[in-house]
A and B are shown apart, each in its own frame.
Chain A
């Protein structure tokens, strides 16, 4: 099946710093989503981005489908950005089920 790898696995930042999270996937995809999981376990949609670039406030994402990777940029990080960031994809011939990476655990210190 399709493999989804995220890096780095853990990241500690000082408030105000910028960061880049990476997601590599091993096959062509129909759908790619980035999520933020808060400390209570809720998965919050950040981006639906199978290709191209999107921005939402301090967050932006870029997916290069032909090279099978996606990047999530966090600028001017805040303590509320702490949590786990997941990338999830579904294959082009799949039943729309999402395959998740193992996540990047982010801690932003004040």
Chain B
């Protein structure tokens, strides 16, 4: 049973053309995260939503924005994709923020691989 769903799995866009990646969850979790993972690198957190509260990582470029219209859906908007934005984009959820020692672990979707031409 799919719990964190990302569509599409593969996305091709042109340099400078806005693109939106989507994520949905069936877990009713409060927190949703977006990560960027470039080839052979570890996932890097871009931002997260705790319910409706948006939290941006300090080094996330302004080119990346996010929307969470409701509990189930979260979108990643890349306003003007550059060649360096080609990567796997991972969405994750957790019931609450991952508190020390808790079982509130993160559940990841399969990712969307973005190609920028």
- Chains A and B are bound partners: no
